[in-house]
Chain A
Amino acid sequence: MSDKPKLRVATTSLAGCFGCHMSFLDIDEHLFELAQLVEFDRSPLTDIKHCGPCDIGLIEGGVCNAENVHVLREFRRNCKTLVAVGACAINGGLPAQRNHLDLGACLQEVYLSRDGIANPGVPDDPELPLLLDKVHPIHEVVRVDYFIPGCPPSGEAIWKFLSDLIAGRTPRLPHSMLHFD
């Protein structure tokens, strides 16, 4: 073990599908290398509920409700370098395709007027975060330092980015790893 202090990394999925986190796990054996270099703060991998001071924050997903805004701001406050990972964090992605629909009409369609619905009613439990009228990419809410495009970005691209960043190089994806789909 080297005595070099480990970097702290936090990750979260906002309005995303966890596909980018799955892709992150796809770095396979590099996970062992990564474990030598970093330790995880708030992340689905640790189940820590709130983000403490970190070096790197990885955000998957766009911003679709009030809770997303709070989590994203918590990450920005605590992370020296904030990274948007994947199409949804970068442009809203699939969830943002509701942006041309009226939110009320959308909820009505799904929870009230759909065929075969047993107990019609828009869920209104106070624990549920309020939806925003539009889904936003995260750079519209906080400052973002880097973007890793892809739906999801390949494990290869995520590893290239992280290994560049951790080694102090300017992260740069070659053409073969730069994809929007």
Chain B
Amino acid sequence: MNGRFMLDGQPVMFEEGQTILQAAKAAGHYIPSLCWHPDFPPHGSCKLCIVKVGGRHVSSCALQAKDGMEIESNTPEINGERRALLQMLFVEGNHFCPSCEKSGNCELQAQAYELEMTSARFNYFFPVRPVDASHPDILLDFNRCIFCELCVRASRDIDGKSIFALTNRGIHKHLVVNAESGRLGDTDFSALDRAASICPVGVILPKRVGFAVPIGERIYDEKPISLVSMEKER
């Protein structure tokens, strides 16, 4: 059954089976997200796409649209909560943008620009996460992982290799490589795998192409992610 919901006071039409996020985007209304990807089922872990439906917080990537829903998304309150989520992601990892090859193409950074995050507000954890440069074509820099599981999902569901996984819980959660040695070089991972190009941040990086596009001329240097992502999915 198709229907209509109200998003920030504006009517949005949807088709049966669409989530709030899908329907909103199809109608030209951007909702920030990180772990959501159009090629995969919703993951619902980053919570950046939270909206309020009837006063309750829900993940708009995971909840199916229903006729007559009253939804708040682009409000100072919800954007403030989204900013706090980003700030927590920034302090939990080591996100040093000036020395990161992904800077300007990074979705975490782009969401921080989008939501006008100027500082991480909390105290930094400065976790110790050594990099893995063992693979001939790919560098793994765990410092920047935000646990969106896109590489885990792509490697398992598309490449059929299950090379990545998250292990442990809570603050000890981290990305691991499915090899006895734990090193990417000891797996059959290829730079052509879907998982090699899906990381929204700077964890999985191809070698020997660093800074081919200069800082300042990259995707989100010029346009906010709200515009880029709407153009891409149109």
Contact = CB atoms under 8 A, between A and B. Distances in A.
Interface residues of B, number: 28
A181 B118 contact: no
A91 B118 CA distance: 11
Interface in A28-54: none
Contact of A147 (B109, B118, B215): B118
Contacts of A181: 97-98, 100, 103-104, 215
B121 A172 contact: no
A146 B121 CA distance: 11
A107 interface: no
Interface stretch (B36-44, B68-76, B122-130, B177-185): B122-130
Interface in B8-52: none
Contacts, number: 72
A139 B119 contact: yes
Contact of A179 (B94, B114, B221): B221
A180 B99 contact: no
A91 B113 contact: no
A80 B219 CA distance: 38
Contacts of B109: 180
A172 B221 CA distance: 17
Contacts of B119: 84, 90-91, 137, 139, 144, 147, 149
A173 interface: yes
A148 B117 CA distance: 10
Interface residues of A, number: 29
B28 to A, nearest CB: 19
A173 B96 contact: no
Given A137-B124, A180-B109, A181-B103, A96 B116 contact: no
13 contacts: A87-B98, A91-B124, A92-B124, A96-B96, A99-B126, A136-B124, A147-B119, A149-B118, A178-B113, A179-B113, A179-B221, A181-B103, A181-B215
